[in-house]
Structure 1
Amino acid sequence: MEGGCLCGAVRYVFDGEPINSGLCHCESCRRTASAPRLAFVGVLSEVFRFTKGAPVEYASSVGVIRSFCGRCGSPLTYRRDDAAGDLDVMTVSLDDPSGVPPTFHVWLSESLEWDRLAGNLPAYQRTRDG
């Protein structure tokens, strides 16, 4: 799968199947996306690589690094220090985001009051682990 930022300055590719695909409602993700929730696709770090340009990295919270295009601001990745082998890629940065629909919601405890869920995807108040 391939993707990149809005302006095309940063491009990436990853091989293999995604580990998971979800929608996050936490405040940090909402602010990153400037949207009520952020769609992400989990992949193994070892199968992901940037093919054009280099993103800017930002420590959005303790142990969390996000990357984005320094030119247009598009959010691209999210990685946690305690899960170095995993990487979350922003779904809508994929060339074909419709090919990886979300299968769950996380951090509903921080969702906006007016952001109503539709459908019947599993939903977790925090992470899927607890």
Structure 2
Amino acid sequence: MTQHILGGCLCGAVRYRLTERPYNSGLCHCETCRRTGSAPALPWAGIACAAFAITQGAPVAYRSSARVVRSFCGTCGSPLTYFHADKPDKIDVMTCSLDDAEAFPPTEHVWVSEKLAWDVLGDGLPAYATGERET
């Protein structure tokens, strides 16, 4: 890929660059993501850690569970990344923090077992009870 994918927070204090396209994308409906984004679901795109770099500022890290670290802008509060210790070579970026938030639309719903009752899925995308695809 010759063109970088850029993103950052609302206020511009934190900026990042992706050097490859995400390998997947989705909407997470778990309670922690909902609370992180103050929204019914949090859109994300998965990328290799080696293809992700902070280019400006320093996000704040927050350990939302024993194995998960999320980052956000300490100035405006924009959620930026999700990192799970069980997948040390991968990181999720929040899709709406991309400069082109339309570039990688969701391809699945995860953690629908925790979605809000009034959040009715009608887009026809695959929906998984947990964060893992059922086989």
TM-score by length of 2: 0.94
Q: Unpaired segments of 5 or more residues in structure 2?
A: none
| 1:84 matched to 2:88 | yes
Higher helix share: 1
Distance 1:22 1:93 in 2: 14
Q: How far is 1:8 from its partner?
A: 0.3
Between the two proteins, what is the percent identity of the paired residues?
58
Q: How far is 1:128 from its partner?
A: 2.5
Query: What amino acid is aligned across from residue 72 of structure 2 in structure 1?
Result: F
Q: Deviations over 1:51-70 (max 9, x none)?
A: 00000000001110000000
Q: Deviations over 1:9-56 (max 9, x none)?
A: 000001112110000000000000000000000000001000000000
Equivalence for 1:96: 100
Q: How far is 1:129 from its partner?
A: 3.7
Classify the secondary structure of the residue corresponding to 1:98: coil
Distance 2:97 2:133 in 1: 26
Equivalence for 1:12: 16
Classify the secondary structure of the residue corresponding to 2:102: helix
Equivalence for 1:27: 31
Distance 2:29 2:45 in 1: 14
Q: Unpaired segments of 5 or more residues in structure 1?
A: none
Distance 1:116 1:129 in 2: 20
Classify the secondary structure of the residue corresponding to 1:109: helix
- Give the aligned CA root-mean-square deviation in angstroms: 0.7
Match of 1:107 among 89, 106, 111: 111
Distance 1:9 1:71 in 2: 7
| 1:121 matched to 2:122 | no
Distance 2:87 2:123 in 1: 30
TM-score by length of 1: 0.98
Equivalence for 1:38: 42
